[in-house]
Amino acid sequence: MFAKRILLMLTLLCICLTIQGRNFEEFRQELLTAPDWKTAKTKLIAYLPTTTNVEELRELQSIWQSVEPDACREYFIELQKKNPNTPVYAYLALRLEPDETLQMNAAEELCRKYPDFYWGYRLFLVDYMAWLLNAELELTNPLQNQESALKIIDEGYKRFPEDDYFHIFQFHRHRIQKNYALAEAELTQIKDRNLLTANWMRIKYFLVQNKNATLYKTLMPNLLSDLIKNGQLASADSIYSFAEGYVEILQETENKIELEQYLVQNPILLKSYPYFDVYAGILANKKEWKTLDKCLLNAFDSGAITKEQLNNYLTNWEDELSKCQNWITLQAKAELDNKLPEQK
């Protein structure tokens, strides 16, 4: 028995010595490509005591948890008990707490006890933000009576003013409180595209609501590109996802010149009725009836508009379109009755 313990200790020592001199990413890849979990686990457990790097500990913990969640949690709870005054181990144990409410409350206490420990704030922010984004769907003022939590977050923000997790939280906080200028200021400081992508729907809605075409054009292409890479959005759909918000902003701000340029530069949008309808309205307002006449014919032939929709256009702009080259053809395609005048 004693000999087996000595052998195990020597094995672990050899592993630790082998680990030294390599970067963590190489070690991580070695774990992920190990021939079996037993081999990987032995190396992982041997490595844990050799590092105090929180990022490395988080990564190893996540690997272990994905395979043996119960054993992993038990290990880190015991580690915390052996090191009761070390915030890192308290944080790592809390990461594995299955009850989100208990986790959030304990993370709040961790922030109070160790106000200079970043990862306590990080865990609290993630939990509290998840609660807040759900609460805003149900409550008129979800931040009412939340002074205690907000005070802790503000304290952390003073200590870590460049951190993107604080910026994304403050963005949501100001957005919900309708402090749109402050929300926009926080949004422009976020550098972590993963955070932006995770919040892209609310960001998109905010930019449309705030009618900020410039910031929309700056942020949304990168977010949509990330969604495509992650398999969350089809490449063919990205132009429509962008256009949905951008066209609305330009309409709301009555930026007719930029709106027309955008639609002309992206003719694929004109194959979709909502965008063709916007473009048709622009041409009508500019009294470019000959261009509209041709566009209506092309739109119908390509299937962008239906007979009923074509009928509506011909009825609404009858006096002007009836003087154009394709009037009789358009009438026939729309199957209008004989009350409409012949081409003049």
Domains of the chain by residue range: 25-96
Residue 14: per-residue pLDDT: 39
- pLDDT per position as a tens digit, 258-295: 999 999 999 999 999 999 999 999 999 999 999 999 99
Which tokens in the block code for residue 339? 């009350």
pLDDT tens sequence across 188-221: 999 999 999 999 999 999 999 999 999 999 999 9
Give Cα 172 distance to the centre of its chain.
13
Residue 22: its pLDDT value, please?
Answer: 59
Tell whether the model's pLDDT for residue 17 goes beyond 80.
no
Q: How far apart are CA 173 and CA 167, in angstroms?
A: 10
Question: What are the pLDDT digits (tens) for 26-74?
Answer: 998 998 899 999 999 999 999 999 999 999 999 999 999 999 999 999 9
| Per-residue pLDDT at 344 | 43
pLDDT in tens, 148-165: 999 999 999 999 999 999
Q: What is the pLDDT of residue 23?
A: 85
Percentage of the chain lying above the pLDDT 90 cut? 85
Phi-psi region of 231 (alpha: psi -120 to 50; beta: other; left: phi over 0): left
pLDDT tens by residue, 133-150: 999 999 999 999 999 999
Q: Of 176, 172, 197, 201, nearest to 187 (Cα)? A: 172
Query: Contact 132/143 with Cβ under 8 angstroms?
Result: yes
Least confident of 99-108, 174-183, 215-224: 215-224
Residue 15: pLDDT band (50, 70, 90) is: very low
* Neighbour count for residue 18 (Cβ, 10 Å): 13
At residue 8, the pLDDT reads 37
Please enumerate in sequence order all residues whose Cβ is within 8 A of that of 143, keeping only pairs 6 or more positions apart, or say none. Answer: 132, 150, 173, 176, 177
Average confidence (pLDDT) over 104-113: 97
pTM (whole model) above 0.75: yes
Is the model more confident about 324 or about 8?
324
Averaged confidence pLDDT in the chain: 90
Residue 106 pLDDT grade (very low, low, confident, very high; cuts 50, 70, 90)? very high
Q: What is the mean pLDDT of residues 4-17?
A: 37
